[in-house]
Amino acid sequence: MILLTFPKSNILELLRELIRIPSVNPTLAPEEGHNEVKIAEFVVDWLRKHNVDARIEFVEPGRPNVFAEVGDGEGPTLCLCAHLDTVGTAGMEIDPFDPKIEGNRVYGRGSCDMKAGVAAIMSTAASLAAAGSIKGKVILALVCDEEYASIGADHFVLHHKADACILTEPSDLKMVVAHKGFLWGKVTTTGRSAHGSRWDLGDSAISKMGNVIVGLDNLDKNVLRNRREGLVGPASMHVSLISGGIGVSTYAPDCTIHIERRTLPSENTDDVKSEIERVIQNIAKDSHIDWYFKRDSFSCAPNESIIQHVTASYKSLLGSVPESVGWGGWTDAAIFQQAGIPTINIGASGFGLHEPVEWIDFETVLINTNILINAATTFLQDKKVAKEV
């Protein structure tokens, strides 16, 4: 078994250095004036100093991924993935970029989501490089923009292939094998503009939309919540934004809402759209819906080799098997799975994703790293995987 080859203090300082570098997603918080460039440069420099080949791959100007690799390439390829960007810092109750330590907790923006995962992957690659000759290859996908549109992961899977992938989003050391997807749509109802006194001429688009909202709410509570699947729970939908009207004394000529539908792994996107469209059209025949963004759900089959190797690694280190769970939220795991790469997620324990106070339990970061190292080692030696390659 290969384990961490660096002192605990070195890994802790790596994590703190990552937190000190602001990498706020510029689309989410442009006023903060950051992106992923500085942290990508630091990551590449650190990896190269630890004998890991690494380079920056720009997805767009100012939006870099880091690609790195360890091994001779003669065998299976395992990808380890984490995102470099964070959400913004507005409203934080701690200094976001001064990583304070209290007991096992390391505080700061991105400490949990997910610079701890980045540190675990970097330490894994460096430990494997220090161990010497490795058959097969471990590649690193340290990507930009997961917190907004995941352009980094989309770009990565177009240019790199792997036989399996492990993400390290914080999961309390549970193994995430499925999560929901989502679908965004904009619904528009139309009316007739008229003076507020002309009830005989005016037709309020807002009133029509009110009926649509009630219909969609009934669909959510009475139908979707009863549609459950495995580890991820029920399907769901909500109205998230609304706008309409042009003046207090004028009948509203139009009204729009935005809806989000959380989808299950077994659901077909076209069927999901049709179900919602039928409800809307039955209520407001002159309405229109524009489906403008979607992300697929994800589910990893229980017989995939990567699940077996992570489970064995976990058991060898902790004496038990990891709990397999599903998430309601979405991660880049879906992008890798859709690219034909069997994927799971296992990460450290923490608190405060996107919240005013954020921290990670550092001891679980070390455990997570050793799970990755051991799982990578056995996966690359798996003759069944090698035959499939």
The domain segmentation of the chain, as residue ranges, is 8-179+297-388, 181-295
Q: What pLDDT does residue 73 have?
A: 78
Does the fold of domain 181-295 match that of domain 8-179+297-388? no
Q: Which two tokens stand for residue 182?
A: 């989502």
Query: Any idea of the CA torsion for 101, 102, 105, 106, to the nearest 10 degrees?
Result: -20
**Which residues have a Cβ under 8 Å from the Cβ of 181 and sit 6 or more positions away?**
262, 263, 265, 294, 295, 296, 297, 298, 330, 334
Q: Which fold has domain 181-295?
A: Alpha-Beta Plaits (3.30.70)
Q: What pLDDT does residue 170 have?
A: 98
375 in Cβ contact with 311 (< 8 Å): no
Distance CA 146, CA 155 (A): 12
Q: Is 297 left (phi over 0), alpha (psi -120 to 50) or beta?
A: beta
pLDDT tens series, the chain, 389 aa:
666 777 888 999 999 999 999 999 999 999 999 999 999 999 999 999 999 999 999 999 999 999 999 998 788 999 999 999 999 999 999 999 999 999 999 999 999 999 999 999 999 999 999 988 678 999 999 999 999 999 999 999 999 999 999 999 999 999 999 999 999 999 999 999 999 999 999 999 999 999 999 999 999 999 999 999 989 999 999 999 999 999 999 999 999 999 999 999 999 999 999 999 999 999 999 899 999 999 999 999 999 999 999 999 999 999 999 999 999 999 999 999 999 999 999 999 999 999 999 999 999 999 999 999 999 999 998 867 755 65
- Domain boundaries 8-179+297-388, CATH class: alpha beta
Q: Which two tokens stand for residue 180?
A: 């929901």
**Which residues have a Cβ under 8 Å from the Cβ of 302 and sit 6 or more positions away?**
177
CA count, 13 A, side-chain hemisphere, 70: 29
Q: How many residues does the chain have?
A: 389
Q: What pLDDT does residue 127 have?
A: 94
Distance of CA 200 to the CA centre of its chain: 52
Q: Which two tokens stand for residue 96?
A: 């976001």
Cα separation values, 72 from 50, 57, 77, 125, 360, Å: 17, 21, 10, 13, 34
